[in-house]
Structure 1
Amino acid sequence: MKKPFYISTAIAYASAIPHVGNVYEAILADAIARFKRLDGFDVYFQTGTDEHGQKIESRAMEHNLDPKSFTDKISGEIKRIYASVDVSYDHFVRTTDKNHYEVVQAIFKKLYDQGDIYLGKYSGWYSVSEESFIADKDIVDGKGPNGDKLVWTEEETYFFDLKKYQKRLVDYIESHPEFILPETRKNEMINNFLTEPLQDLSVSRTSFKWGIPTFDKKHVTYVWIDALTNYISGLGLDGSLTPSEKYSKYWPADIHLIGKDILRFHTIYWPIMLMALDLPLPKTVFGHPWVLIDKSKMSKSVGNTLYVDDILTHFKKDTLRYYVLHEIPYAADGNLTYELLIERNNTDLANTLGNLVNRTIGMANKYRGGVIKKANTKVAYEISLVDACNSLLNKVREKMDAYKVSDAIEEIMKVLRSANKFIDVTEPWKLFKDDSSQDELDGVLYELIETVRFTAVLLQAFIPETAEKILNQINTTKNTFDSIVTFGGFETTTLNKPEVLFERFNPEEKLEEILKG
């Protein structure tokens, strides 16, 4: 029986179309989900949209729409954008879903009934953009942590007594080193938020209406309590909070993949909610880094945002997928510019991957009429593709199990670079002209094609459209991880015609084309 694996992204806030930094998270989660499926897991990959709150209420009014019509539109656009980069989620949850409403209301009432939530009054500085009250220590020059304008707010509100569970949470974090990753994120949470007593959390609002009503009809549920609940409501729970079949199979989640800027909500508020509900905590909360534009954080006010639709006007979807998966490090922010996209497209995708596939199939067609038969090299070359491939799956799996996606792809790239060098070392064109070297040529061509197959099988997780094209060009259906445990699985067959996988761009001309729009 397949082992279940539940991965989620943070749900996208449906106030506007997401920029490429937001979509990076969905692509990253997709790569992990695809890899786990290929590795034999029963994967459940959930994403979706967070659709309540004051900001959405205001944006809807600006567009002369009611909030539900507005979020229907934005949610539909987000689905379209995810589809454009092959994000293969299993469920798209919306916080306007009927069962989600019921679960949030049931949780709020349960926490109130057991004394974790109480009615009080709040006065303080509120950030509309963050949908959060801002502590005095986090206010700089009268602005919030992200430089946003704050509004003084006084209102009746329900509070969640977080202190009650603080020690239990700290003990849990300390005893479960895999709960917050990377390690630096765990230290940030402990040192910045958990060394002092936690303030009670305001969990309802009366200053606007667009939210899930609580049992006290004057109040709507705080948007973060609402949003975080999606991780379990999306598993088919209803207002009774009775475990569904899907919940029983997949909860606790294996990984919540989120941006590092919302770590506090996921590693303090969410686990305390779950503790209060006597539910298991997710196994890992991974706070991924940001995608920077020209080394600066993307900001609509600064005007340095890049959108997926704009990038796909000029590049293949797999160029974008490859770039963000390979170039954004495990724990540090990564940089994205059109210049860097062009460079990586040319070096890794056109030159290393595309060139290898094209040259190999081209030589097989030229020297053997496209018929590849099973053979081995007899000469001891300085490069052993057999050894490189035989160890590749385990190397990539080890990196993926630690969510080091960039490092996993680099292991594949190392083998592709070795295969290109292997062509230079073996010189098949010389072997072809030597009658006594025909068996050796067969071995060289077979080892090259088998290496192409090994890498294409693994690339299905990262650049799926390209991987499928490669497997079609070499005319094989052997595309499972079981087929790349041991070198030599490629059967005698006639290859198809090689096709260019990635165009190699002239950097100056490509940039000029992009600037013209």
Structure 2
Amino acid sequence: MTSGRSFYITTPIYYPSDVPHIGHGYTTVAVDTLARWHRQAGDDTWMLTGTDEHGQKMMRAAAANGATPQEWVDRLVSESWFPLLETLDVANDDFIRTTQERHEERVKAFVQAIYDRGYIYAGEFEALYCVGCEEFKTEAEILPGTGEFEGLKVCAIHSKPLELLQEKNYFFKLSEFQDRLLELYASEPDFIRPESARNEVVSFVRSGLKDLSISRSTFDWGIEVPWDDSHVIYVWVDALLNYATAVGYGTDPEQFARRWPAYHVVGKDILRFHAVIWPAMLMAAGLEVPRGVFAHGWLLVGGEKMSKSKLTGIAPSEITDVFGSDAYRFYFLSAIAFGQDGSFSWEDLSARYQAELANGFGNLASRTVAMIGKYFDGVVPMPGTYTDADRAVQTVVADAATAADAAMERFRIDEAIERIWTIVDELNGYITVNEPWALAKDEANRERLATVLYTVAEGLRALTVLLSPVMPAATGILWKALGAEAALGALTSQPIRGAGTWGVLAPGTTVSALAPLFPRVEQNS
């Protein structure tokens, strides 16, 4: 079911020594929802996630835990990162680890290619380095230390002292790409989204680019520079290349041609790497730049960006154990404007779960299936003549489907859900006004009752398809209860861009009992 249009989308590759928190989960479910939507729209979709396993920070953590770096990352990935994907119901197509041979060999080929094209040179280097960020710091990112770090220079993000590094390194001629990058941003205004992120990158590049140190010689946990085995490739260069190596760069030209270029969804703190360094590296290699880079905001807890060092990190399972994976996905993707910072609170999650999921969508599903069971022996009835009120429902459904698809194209998942939710509100209002329970009391109203319940069932069919990329578990259960799986096939194979077409659920389809999709939650607070 592919339209031939390639939709390749990536999460950042995560640093495995950071135990997954809800911020990592947020990025991952956003990318998964976009991928599921495009897959169901018939686009040739590929979703990549993975882990970034090299660098000095990882080497030190392994040593502190009495393990080799490889043993250490293997343990972290299997204990924390693979389970995250299951916890959040993520349907990724691939998972890349930067210690995999496929990645290491292709990274060497890429770096060799830009070296051969004259974009890498040897030089001396001295700068302040933050091990936590695995990055050299500019003046703007350095603060004077306080307390125990009085008199030292510290990282603005980690508040930890910086290390002065002096070494012979290889440099990438990033400065040569300033004009080409500015031309890219001007000619493709959607290359960086949202607009605030784009403006920030444009002004950064306008202020002048320095060449980038792309190798380290003081430690060996990394991929060797192909022409000089006393150096390893800088961890960020190695990491960025995963997006190309995972789809066959260098060894599988057919796969690479089919998938590349990609859309990258990243947290705004790593935007510059993706919107400046990465396209410049691709230009140097003579490859297409990414299709676009979307920077989402931070999740704030108590007004602070989450981090393990400040103990504000919340594990996704703390939420899913209570509310389930669908509620996690729905809450973070609808409550926060995608691209802006958002605050998380248990109270807000709980309130939305109750109002929107249990009372809104869940109750609509239960009532519909129960009334078809009670008044039509569990068989979807044949509608009679449609009134203006019925046609109004059909219009809301069609408009919601079109608007949601347009919002997903803009990477505004929150707006897509908002438009889909107009169907929930419309159908609940329609049931209240048309009172099927009152119609059922008089045989003379039998045809009208049939029309009302067909309208609600068919509206619910469209709603289930549209919500399936956001809430795959609950919609899968509802799809079966509506009898749609037996009649129409798997939910994931329903064409999502055609979900608003009226009359897909055939009269005569048998529904089955439905337990509450979003049961009441008992919270011990």
TM range (shorter): over 0.9
Residue equivalent to 2:310: 302
What SS does structure 1 have at the residue aligned with 2:51? strand
Residue equivalent to 1:515: none
Distance 1:123 1:470 in 2: 61
Distance 2:393 2:359 in 1: 19
Describe the shift of the 1:294–1:451 C-alpha distance in structure 2 as closer, same or farther (beyond 3 A).
farther
Residue equivalent to 1:280: 288
Residue equivalent to 1:183: 195
Q: Which moved more, 1:28-37 or 1:472-481?
A: 472-481
Distance 1:485 1:101 in 2: 46
Which one-letter code corresponds to 1:244 in the other structure?
A: P
2:401 to 355, 370, 393: 393
2:89 to 61, 86, 102: 86
Contact preservation (8 Å) 2:55, 2:222: yes
Q: Which moved more, 1:131-140 or 1:113-122?
A: 113-122
Contact preservation (8 Å) 1:51, 1:94: yes
Residue equivalent to 1:510: 523
Q: Aligned-pair distance for 1:243? A: 5.1
Contact preservation (8 Å) 2:400, 2:422: no
Distance 1:327 1:36 in 2: 22
For residues 467-512 of structure 1, the C-alpha deviation after alignment (integer angstroms, 9 at most, x for no partner) is 111111111123412763421111122210121100133xxx6142
Q: Which moved more, 1:410-419 or 1:484-493?
A: 484-493
Distance 2:336 2:524 in 1: 22
Q: Aligned-pair distance for 1:171? A: 0.9
What SS does structure 1 have at the residue aligned with 2:229? coil
What SS does structure 2 have at the residue aligned with 1:16? coil
Distance 1:415 1:197 in 2: 50
Residue equivalent to 1:34: 36
Matched, 1:168 2:184: no
What SS does structure 2 have at the residue aligned with 1:108? helix
RMSD: 1.6
Q: Which moved more, 1:290-299 or 1:274-283?
A: 290-299
Distance 1:28 1:428 in 2: 38
Distance 1:302 1:197 in 2: 34
Q: Aligned-pair distance for 1:135? A: 1.0
Contact preservation (8 Å) 2:34, 2:408: yes
Q: Which moved more, 1:54-63 or 1:375-384?
A: 375-384
What SS does structure 2 have at the residue aligned with 1:81? helix
Matches within 5 A, 1:354-369: 354-369=362-377
Which one-letter code corresponds to 1:230 in the other structure?
A: N
Matches within 5 A, 1:73-472: 73-76=75-78, 77-141=80-144, 142-149=153-160, 150-191=162-203, 193-214=204-225, 215-237=227-249, 241=250, 244-253=253-262, 255-376=263-384, 378-381=386-389, 384-472=392-480
For residues 225-252 of structure 1, the C-alpha deviation after alignment (integer angstroms, 9 at most, x for no partner) is 0001111100123xxx355211011111
Distance 1:172 1:236 in 2: 25
Q: Aligned-pair distance for 1:147? A: 3.5
Distance 1:86 1:132 in 2: 33
Which one-letter code corresponds to 1:304 in the other structure?
A: T
Distance 2:156 2:274 in 1: 18
Which one-letter code corresponds to 2:257 in the other structure?
A: S
Q: Aligned-pair distance for 1:383? A: 8.1
Describe the shift of the 1:453–1:314 C-alpha distance in structure 2 as closer, same or farther (beyond 3 A).
same
Contact preservation (8 Å) 1:376, 1:444: no
What SS does structure 2 have at the residue aligned with 1:124? strand
Describe the shift of the 1:251–1:485 C-alpha distance in structure 2 as closer, same or farther (beyond 3 A).
same
Distance 2:443 2:90 in 1: 50
What SS does structure 1 have at the residue aligned with 2:365? helix
Residue equivalent to 1:69: 71
Distance 1:469 1:199 in 2: 55
Contact preservation (8 Å) 2:10, 2:264: yes
Distance 2:298 2:384 in 1: 46
Contact preservation (8 Å) 2:18, 2:308: no
Q: Which moved more, 1:445-454 or 1:9-18?
A: 9-18
Residue equivalent to 2:514: 498
Distance 1:97 1:372 in 2: 53
What SS does structure 2 have at the residue aligned with 1:273? helix
Describe the shift of the 1:423–1:69 C-alpha distance in structure 2 as closer, same or farther (beyond 3 A).
same
Residue equivalent to 2:504: 489
TM-score by length of 1: 0.94
Which one-letter code corresponds to 1:488 in the other structure?
A: G
Contact preservation (8 Å) 1:178, 1:284: yes
Contact preservation (8 Å) 1:374, 1:490: no
Between the two proteins, the alignment pairs up a number of residues equal to: 504
Contact preservation (8 Å) 2:401, 2:420: no
Q: Aligned-pair distance for 1:125? A: 0.9
Q: Aligned-pair distance for 1:307? A: 0.4
Contact preservation (8 Å) 1:376, 1:447: no
TM-score by length of 2: 0.93
Distance 2:398 2:333 in 1: 24
Distance 2:252 2:483 in 1: 46
Identical positions, percent:
36
Q: Aligned-pair distance for 1:377? A: 5.5
Distance 1:461 1:382 in 2: 27
Structure 1: stretches of 5+ with no match in the other structure: 513-517
Structure 2: stretches of 5+ with no match in the other structure: 145-152
Q: Which moved more, 1:372-381 or 1:19-28?
A: 372-381
